Amino acid sequence: MTAGLAGLLPLRMSFEKQETMIKIIILSLAAITAFSVRLFAVIRFESVIHEFDPYFNYRTTRFLTEEGYYNFHNWFDDRAWYPLGRIIGGTIYPGLMVTSAIFYKILHFFHFTLHIREVCVFLAPLFSSFTTIITYMLTKELKGEGAGLVAASMIAIVPGYISRSVAGSYDNEAIAIFCMLFTYYLWIKAVKTGSIFWSALCSLAYFYMVSSWGGYVFLINLIPLHVLALIFSGRFSHRIYVAYSTVYVIGTILSMQIPFVGFGPVQSSEHMAAFGTFGLCQLCAFAGWLRSKMSEENFQVLFKSVIAVAGLAVFGGVAVATFLGKIAPWTGRFYSLLDPSYAKNNIPIIASVSEHQPTAWSSFYFDLQMLVFMFPAGLYFCFKKLTDHNIFIILYGVTSIYFAGVMVRLMLVLAPVMCILAGIAVSSTLNTYMKNLDVSQKQRGKLAKGGDRNYPYKNEVAWGVVAILTGFLMTYGFHCTWVTAEAYSSPSIVLSARTGDGGKIIFDDFREAYYWLRQNTHEDAKIMSWWDYGYQITAIANRTVLVDNNTWNNTHISRVGQAMASPEEHSYEIMRELDVDYVLVIFGGVTGYSSDDINKFLWMVRIGGSTPEGSHIKEHDYYTPTGEFRIDREGSQTMLNSLMYKLCYYRFGGVYTEQGRPTGYDRVRNSEIGNKDFELDFLEEAYTTEHWIVRIYRVKPQENRGQK
């Protein structure tokens, strides 16, 4: 029979070769799927960069390819935060930009003259394919090749990872997950072999990780935690000593070469765990050496006295530091930091960002589907066969599920370990039951004759289990594709909507407006808009903005908020002070695009009123006496005469938006606007896009001979 099966294949290959070929086919299929499932947005719209932060990354990458690394490193950007500017080189993680630039150079060396934008768009899917392969290698080290293949196929399409790595979402996380898993793989290798070679490679991978994402802090705490767990479970050995000492020393020195990280690894508190573990490692190794050289009683005496002295020293140190006021362990605040809800309740800027929200159970299921119950099973299997490297993956799983529970965006860190452990669970289930399948009558007879002491209906049960698992894996595939297509593939710079008859409309107003700015305004024109659109304006329109998404200067943002919230004549003074030439507002009243500037207006009022210059702006002036935020006739007069209101609703009072409604009917707020007939004194309309989503106004110059 075996000969016949082999005969089906065109080449007569040995079993090993056949196995290798199947593995390669599965792995490459998984990698190709990982790439292609992320292309929904490219196919539906076009090859376009998504959202906000990726535009900044794209702009810096373009600068890097055009000007070279040294200019990039020394880049002072005068297009952002006018008149302050921003030092770019020292305030970003350059790994992403350098990676794209290298790909770009290689492609151009071979005369594939791709635009840098295409490289940026497709970088995230490409790295997802790499992640698939590295997941296979990592899981193979942990469990075996079968589990590796299952885990690789799972991570190829897991929505929790796709959400941040579709084509066009050109952000640090796109490459960081690959770097993280690569570092883990090399760490496991180093722990297994105890060789300096693998450890040095691991620290190089760690360096790449540090250069690309701030999340490296998770990694530099997880690896010491693993070492600690090994020490406490009595598994400390020379292999681990060599691996950790090498990784820590080389990794720390390398990570300090990134300008943005600087001296953090030896100063800041989140790196101290790694440092402490390094010291403990040396002590453990030294104690082991001493023990081998002296008698047991002497060693015990020495051990106890050293412990006592060290304890006293720590206690004295804490007491002195408390006395000098360096640390304050007795106030309630110190302990409330341990509570994860602390930041949510006490730091409003964290509370206001949706990415910092905790994770509801439904988003766990939405992003991971069958992994949510295969993952615990995998964890159980790891506990059954505890090894040095299994401890690592258990720690990774438990810590990352804590972080994913606190913050929804950290689902990204959880997704890979979910896939790895679920892969282990699925493959060991399949392994045990596939053996029980009777594929031919001949074998069954043989087994029956051999006096098999297994249970009856073994074959049928095995068929059932295999069928159910196959069904699960299929629903996993369907679910992931559906989620990707529905939830994670909208670029948000190009919008689409369904018409009443099921057709599709594309709103490309953002790019239309930015190109208008690029073509029709002076090169040094200053554009005022709310900070959300800063990155896009600098990247696409190539004009100077006052504030952007890197919200580092609160007073400057506040000044813009004051200009938007004040009446026109007062705003004009602020705009003159800030040298504003154009004002750009986002308005959804015609199309029903709900995240427009009127809906964000209260944040402008709050932030505008939070500094001394904005003391005339009070939030309750913008509400009706009953405390509502309205734009119709009932709305407060301050609201109806603010600059933002006028810029959004200028000339809107004469427009029909919906059948059976009066003119000036706002489709987002579902009401007729209250202030219809007004003219602008200090600004003039410069451009309004096709669907009115972006409106641009020119600030008039001052009268030549004073007031008339």
Partner 1 sequence: MAAMRTTTVLLLLAVFIHDVGGQKALSLDEKVRNLQESLYKKPVMNLNMDRWKTYVRTAPRNYSMIVMFTALSAGVNCPICRPAYDEFHIVANSFRYAYPELKSLYFALVDYEEASNIFQQMNLNTAPVLYHFPAKGGRKKSDQMDFQRHGIDAEAIAKFVQDRTDVQVRVLRPPNYAAPAVVILLAMLVLGLLYMRRNNLEFLYNRTSWGLICLCIVFAFMSGQMWNHIRGPPFVMTNPKTRETTFVHSSSQFQLVSETYLVAVLYAAVTAGVILMNDAVDGKGDPSKRRIMAFVGLGMVVIFFSLLLSVFRSKYQGYPYSFLFH
Name the site residues for partner 1 (rule: CB under 8 A): 233-234, 329-333, 335, 340-341, 344, 358-366, 372-377, 379-381, 383-384, 386, 394, 397-398, 401-402, 404-406, 425, 428-429, 432-433, 436, 453-458, 461, 464-465, 468, 472, 475, 478-479, 482, 606, 609-610, 618-619
Number of Cα atoms under 13 Å in the Cβ half of residue 287: 17
> Which CB sits closer to partner 1, 612 or 706?
612
> Which CB sits closer to partner 1, 491 or 614?
614
Q: In whole angstroms, what is the distance from residue 369 CA to residue 348 CA?
A: 32
Q: In whole angstroms, what is the distance from residue 274 CA to residue 225 CA?
A: 8
Question: At residue 167, what are phi and psi to the nearest 5 degrees?
Answer: -60, 125
Instruction: Supply the minimum distance, in Å, between the C-beta of residue 383 and partner 1.
Output: 4
195 and 245 Cβ atoms separated by less than 8 Å: no
Instruction: Supply the minimum distance, in Å, between the C-beta of residue 458 and partner 1.
Output: 8
Instruction: Supply the minimum distance, in Å, between the C-beta of residue 474 and partner 1.
Output: 10
Query: 567: which DSSP letter?
Result: B
Selection from 583, 578, 573, 568 nearest residue 530 by Cα = 583
Instruction: Supply the minimum distance, in Å, between the C-beta of residue 315 and partner 1.
Output: 13
Q: In whole angstroms, what is the distance from residue 216 CA to residue 213 CA?
A: 6
Structure tokens belonging to residue 402: 């804590």
Instruction: Supply the minimum distance, in Å, between the C-beta of residue 473 and partner 1.
Output: 13
Instruction: Supply the minimum distance, in Å, between the C-beta of residue 366 and partner 1.
Output: 7
> Which CB sits closer to partner 1, 114 or 347?
347
Structure tokens belonging to residue 166: 């579709």
Q: Are strands 495-498 and 526-528 parallel, antiparallel or unpaired?
A: unpaired
> Which CB sits closer to partner 1, 268 or 341?
341
* Helices assigned H by DSSP within 256-271: 264-267
Q: In whole angstroms, what is the distance from residue 288 CA to residue 293 CA?
A: 9
Q: Identify any residues that bridge with 76 across adjacent strands, giving them in sequence order.
A: 87
> Which CB sits closer to partner 1, 193 or 610?
610
Residues listed for the chain: 708
Q: In whole angstroms, what is the distance from residue 457 CA to residue 83 CA?
A: 79
Q: Identify any residues that bridge with 87 across adjacent strands, giving them in sequence order.
A: 76
> Which CB sits closer to partner 1, 111 or 384?
384
Structure tokens belonging to residue 578: 């800030």
Instruction: Supply the minimum distance, in Å, between the C-beta of residue 160 and partner 1.
Output: 12
Placement of tokens 């593995």 in the chain: 23
The alpha carbon of residue 658 and the mean position of all alpha carbons in its chain are separated, in whole angstroms, by 39
Instruction: Supply the minimum distance, in Å, between the C-beta of residue 667 and partner 1.
Output: 22
> Which CB sits closer to partner 1, 287 or 372?
372
Instruction: Supply the minimum distance, in Å, between the C-beta of residue 147 and partner 1.
Output: 13
Q: How many CB atoms lie within 10 A of CB 362?
A: 8
